Amino acid sequence: MISVLIITKNDGNVIGECIKSVKDLADEIIVVDGGSQDNTIEISEKLGAKVVKNTFKNFSDQRNLAKEVAKSDWIFYIDSDERATPEFIKDVRSRIYDVGNYIAGFYVWRKTFYLGRDWGFSDKVERIFRKDKLKGWHGVVHETPEFEGTLETISEPILHYTHRSLEQMVEKTNEWSGYEAELRAKVNHPKMNLFRFARVMVSGFLRSYISEKGYKNGTAGLIESIYQAFSMFITYAKLWEKQQSRK
């Protein structure tokens, strides 16, 4: 048995397709909602998912709660802007029932789409676990799983439809930048100055344009890379603002 776990907040425009994509894989679908004010919960329940409401503190907290609620021996975390394919589902089902006890779970490849187009970029994330092997998630900015055993890799990717429109991108940046700025302020991040602003913005641009091969996608690639620099600026400008107010 496998439980599919989805962490959400105001994802009504994408949650439906996510749930539909895992129907043939899941023995149960659990949505942990962090306080949606749109139709995320209504859509999730209509499609048969169990919704658990939990005010958002951080992603580790949400993922740990989802694990505790899950009833299956295996759990699969998928984000609301991701989609499982029939090929991925077939691969997962063939693998989870034919592994040794030393296997704690699997890495999952994600094929990335920006602004509706294939970006030619994939990354590998820790998403499928034996429930009894996963000890929990830790970290408040970038959560990390702690588990017993080793991870293998599912060959077939899921699809990651991130940054679907400029409007959606700006809304998400404005929402999450304040949260991330507060986390950095709480751990006494070094005082922001001209050099640090330049460094985070340049690194954001170069990661997107070079490391993630945005340069291969023409104008869209340039727009995305500039946006990454902008997103970093907003987060750290809010951090700077908090640092000024605490003087």
Between CA 129 and CA 190 the distance in angstroms is 36
Poorest-confidence range of 102-106, 115-119, 191-195? 115-119
| Mean pLDDT, residues 123-127 taken together | 95
Give the end of a domain, one of 162, 192, 209: 162
With 0-12 / 13-18 / 19 or more C-beta atoms within 10 angstroms meaning exposed / middle / buried, residue 118 is exposed
Residue range 44-102, pLDDT digits in tens: 999 999 999 999 888 999 999 999 999 999 999 999 999 999 999 999 999 998 888 89
Tokens of 74: 């295996």
Asked if 155 and 180 sit in the same domain, the reply is no
Q: What is the pTM of this model?
A: 0.87
Query: What share of the chain in percent tops pLDDT 90?
Result: 77
Q: Range of 172's domain?
A: 166-245
Judge if 137 and 172 occupy the same domain. no
Triad 190, 191, 195: Cα angle to 5° = 95
- Mean pLDDT for 4-29 is 96
Q: Count the neighbouring beta carbons within 10 Å of the beta carbon of residue 15.
A: 26
| Total residues found in the chain within this entry | 247
User: Which tens digit of pLDDT belongs to each residue from 234-246?
Assistant: 999 999 999 998 7
